[in-house]
Amino acid sequence: MTTLESLHFNNVFRRLPPAFYTPMACSPLPDTRLLHINASVARLLGLDSSELQRSDLAAIVSGAQVWPGTEPLAMVYAGHQFGQYNPDLGDGRGLLLGQINTPSGLWDLHLKGSGRTPYSRMGDGRAVLRSSLREYLASQAMHGLGIPTSLALCLLGSPATVQRERREPAAQILRIAPSHLRFGHFEHFFYRREYQQLAQLADHVLEHYLPDLLEQAHPYDALLHEVVIRTADLMAAWQSVGFTHGVMNTDNMSLLGYTLDYGPYAFMDTYEPGLISNHSDEGGRYAFHRQASIALWNLNALAHAWSPLTQQQTLIEALQAYEPRFLSSYQRRMLNKLGLQQDHPADAVLIADLLTWMAKSSVDYPCFFRALCAFDGTSPWAYRDELIDPSGWDTWSQHYLLRLKQETRSTPERQQQMRACNPKFVLRNYLAQRAIEAAERGDMRETDTLIHLLTQPFDEHPDHDDYAAPPPEWGRHLNISCSS
């Protein structure tokens, strides 16, 4: 039986020299209490189910009570924010409590909203309930979709409030991820010309996360190549599910290809390529249709920081691997959504034509693909009646039908596979907003329902059809700001 105390702590980041972090104690909020705990995350960590019921859980996790094995620290990093280099970043409102070995691998335990650190700049070191809950839900949604991401074990509340545009309740989440290393960790040492630490960081990543690459002739080159490939795959995954990250700064880019730092993100409702999920991103730098190329821009910044570790030609070749990998990875995901198993030369055009029509006709992205799972070309397709422009659909679906005929699988088999990759339940902004408003009133039932649905988003859950619906009028284009 594994308890919080008997987790197998193995704080490998803390074994790095002091240049990598500042040791810090958590400053707990008053009367911290547990608002929600994610049982599937607890299972992932191997925690005994009785741990979920502990009355002292919030006190332990928040640092109000000693948690044996933890050695909290604030990581130092830098990053390019909206294209500008900022040397002064780091964990400004979160602490890496420690790392644990579990049957599912090595996990970071990171408490977000834990108080001021040397990297807080002008901030208060706190997080509000609104943004903490958005992160809590989104990370489970992403994990449920099978996309690499941080997760959160629990959400903690407190009577304390903090000032944002209004006074808001403060909260904390205990976030877990295989690693919280960011592109910005490497940029920090590069711009300070601390090349020995730069190499030490790369060695750390290789030793603890990618030991197989140490067998290669040039492990640093192999590591950069791996980061490029993982980033391309992550972008393909985000694009295929209609996810847009609102703040794709290099300090929010995971080195190992996980989704990190959910702020003003969106899972698309209507298919809208130019969607900007961050109200403060006036220029649309991080609009949905720019994310794949912004990731390459960010990789370029990383490659620059990598230059003391390798030859220039290697950097160029690593970056050149991005585009073909992104395109093939994205195409494979989209073909899976369409139920197409074979590869065909005209498939890229088929996908592009579909997306062009969807954008023009304001088609709901998740609903369309879920409904498409029931399309067979012979019986009437109910979703056609919901379309604003059925003539566009009629044209495209003729090509699609021809293409389906080139497949070898039976229709029921294809439909089953499509239902396993076109989710019925997606964390639309309006659903998150409803859960936030309820949570601010002290009612966690919406959160509970959403966590349940998002853990198995491909299942039917027939009692919850309303959670699969497009947003009501008030829930379209909610303004999600950066302040969190």
Which entry of 251, 261, 269, 364 is annotated as an active-site residue?
251
Q: 92 contacts which partner out of Mg ion, ligand AMP, none, CB within 5 to 8 A by kind?
A: ligand AMP
168 is a contact residue toward Mg ion (CB under 5 A): no
233 is a contact residue toward Mg ion (CB under 5 A): no
Q: 89 contacts which partner out of ligand AMP, Mg ion, none, CB within 5 to 8 A by kind?
A: ligand AMP
- Smallest gap from residue 340 Cβ to Mg ion (A): 37
- What is the three-state SS of the chain? CCCCCCCEECCCHHHCCHHHEEECCCCCCCCCEEEEECHHHHHHCCCCHHHHHCCCHHHHHHCCCCCCCCCCEEEEEEEEECCEEEEEEECCCEEEEEEEEECCEEEEEEEECCCCCCCCCCCCCCEEHHHHHHHHHHHHHHHHCCCCECEEEEEEEEEEEEECCCEEEEEEEEEEECCCCEHHHHHHHHHCCCHHHHHHHHHHHHHHHCHHHHHCCCHHHHHHHHHHHHHHHHHHHHHHHCEECCCCCHHHCECCCCECCCCCCEECCECCCCCCCCCCCCCCCCCHHHHHHHHHHHHHHHHHHHHHHCCHHHHHHHHHCHHHHHHHHHHHHHHHHCCCCCCCCCHHHHHHHHHHHHHHCCCEHHHHHHHHCCCCCCCCCHHHHHCCCHHHHHHHHHHHHHHHHCCCCCHHHHHHHHHCCCCCCCCCHHHHHHHHHHHHCCCCHHHHHHHHHHHCCCCCCHHHHHHHCCCCHHHCCCCCCCCC
Q: 83 contacts which partner out of Mg ion, ligand AMP, none, CB within 5 to 8 A by kind?
A: none
Q: 263 contacts which partner out of ligand AMP, Mg ion, none, CB within 5 to 8 A by kind?
A: ligand AMP
Q: Which is nearer to ligand AMP, 113 or 242 (CB)?
A: 113
252 is a contact residue toward Mg ion (CB under 5 A): yes
Q: Which is nearer to Mg ion, 51 or 251 (CB)?
A: 251
User: Which residues of the chain form contacts with ligand AMP (CB under 6 A)?
Assistant: 89-93, 119-120, 123-126, 247, 252, 261, 263
- Smallest gap from residue 268 Cβ to ligand AMP (A): 21
Q: Which is nearer to Mg ion, 168 or 261 (CB)?
A: 261
Residue 376 among the catalytic residues: no
- Smallest gap from residue 244 Cβ to ligand AMP (A): 15
240 is a contact residue toward Mg ion (CB under 5 A): no
Q: Which is nearer to ligand AMP, 128 or 275 (CB)?
A: 128
- Smallest gap from residue 298 Cβ to ligand AMP (A): 14
Candidate segments 5-13, 251-259, 317-325, 357-365, binder of Mg ion by CB under 5 A: 251-259
- Smallest gap from residue 128 Cβ to ligand AMP (A): 9
Q: How many residues does the chain have?
A: 484
Q: 120 contacts which partner out of ligand AMP, Mg ion, none, CB within 5 to 8 A by kind?
A: ligand AMP
Q: Which is nearer to Mg ion, 51 or 261 (CB)?
A: 261
Q: Which is nearer to Mg ion, 264 or 457 (CB)?
A: 264
- Smallest gap from residue 383 Cβ to ligand AMP (A): 38
Residue of closest CB approach to ligand AMP: 123
Q: 272 contacts which partner out of ligand AMP, Mg ion, none, CB within 5 to 8 A by kind?
A: none
Q: Known catalytic residues?
A: 251
